[in-house]
Amino acid sequence: VGEVTEVGSKVEKYKIGDKVGVGCLVGSCRQCEECTNNEESYCPKQVLSINARYYDGTITYGGFSNLMVTDEHFIIRWPENLPLDSGAPLLCAGITTYSPLRRFGLDKPGVNVGVVGLGGIGHLSVRFAKALGSKVTVISTSSNKKKEAIETFRADDFLVSHDQEQMQAAAGTLDGIIDTVSANHSLLPLVNLLKPHGKLILVGLPQKLEVPTFPLILGGKAIVGTASGGVKETQEMIEIRS
């Protein structure tokens, strides 16, 4: 995040002095089906903003650089009332959780959403789900997180994942679950929390997982993955947050 200091002769959207941000992407082919549907994060030729190169071989510069040059298409206009420092994490962690809430219909009042883990992505999952009107249940291995989940992040309920009585009582109550945990863990208890046709959405990166096929088939449930959102969706997220 920062301010525009120079613009090229063909730039139309921004001017010097504008507050802006750049997320995970600084390039895509702009021609494939994903790009034309504003889903640049799924473009097979995407260019990440860190540790990558543009098509001409130029090195990209990420958030630790003082200056960067970026195509205006991938720049997010920054609201005046949103501080640059506190809003910066939204361009990665924020859109990572906002996008699946929108994509899988978990953004409506009355929808019951579970969030596994209360770390960086987890607490943003709770905040966005609440902002979109959903009822939120935090699921954690630690009972010590309950006060923070309920009082700080306004979650509606809290489950300790290794408490079999709690988990059994909540079985079949959630429309969808955002799983933010990267440590290896069992998916079966989470799948059991889903209503029929519910979705367990993985945004964490565990190395090894066993798929509980039987409850998936019987309940018409699904385990899905999701990347961060496209430019249009990221702009929408920032405006909602402001």
| CA contacts within 13 A on the Cβ side of 194 | 27
pLDDT of residue 28: 97
The listed CATH number (2.40.10.10, 3.90.180.10, 3.30.70.250, 3.30.479.10) that belongs to domain 2-78: 3.90.180.10
- What is the rounded CA–CA span in Å between residue 71 and residue 78? 16
CA–CA distances in Å: residue 168 to residues 116, 160, 175, 229: 16, 11, 16, 34
pLDDT of residue 118: 96
pLDDT of residue 73: 97
- Main-chain phi, psi angles of 165, to 5 degrees: -65, -45
CATH 3.40.50.720 residue window(s) in the chain: 94-225
For 81, counting Cβ atoms within 10 Å of its Cβ (0-12 exposed, 13-18 middle, 19+ buried), the class is exposed
Q: What is the dihedral of CA 79, 138, 25, 53, to 10 degrees?
A: 140
Bridge partner residues of 159 (DSSP): 139
Element (H, E) at 201: strand 194-202
pLDDT of residue 191: 98
Could you list the mean pLDDT of each consecutive 10-residue stretch along the chain, which spans 242 residues? 96 96 95 97 95 91 86 96 91 96 95 97 96 97 96 97 97 98 96 98 92 97 95 95 76
3-class DSSP state for residue 121? helix
- CATH fold for domain 94-225: Rossmann fold (3.40.50)
- What is the rounded CA–CA span in Å between residue 112 and residue 204? 20
Pairing of strands 157-160, 135-140: parallel
pLDDT of residue 63: 75
- Main-chain phi, psi angles of 228, to 5 degrees: -70, 165
pTM for this structure? 0.92
pLDDT of residue 11: 96
CATH 3.90.180.10 residue window(s) in the chain: 2-78
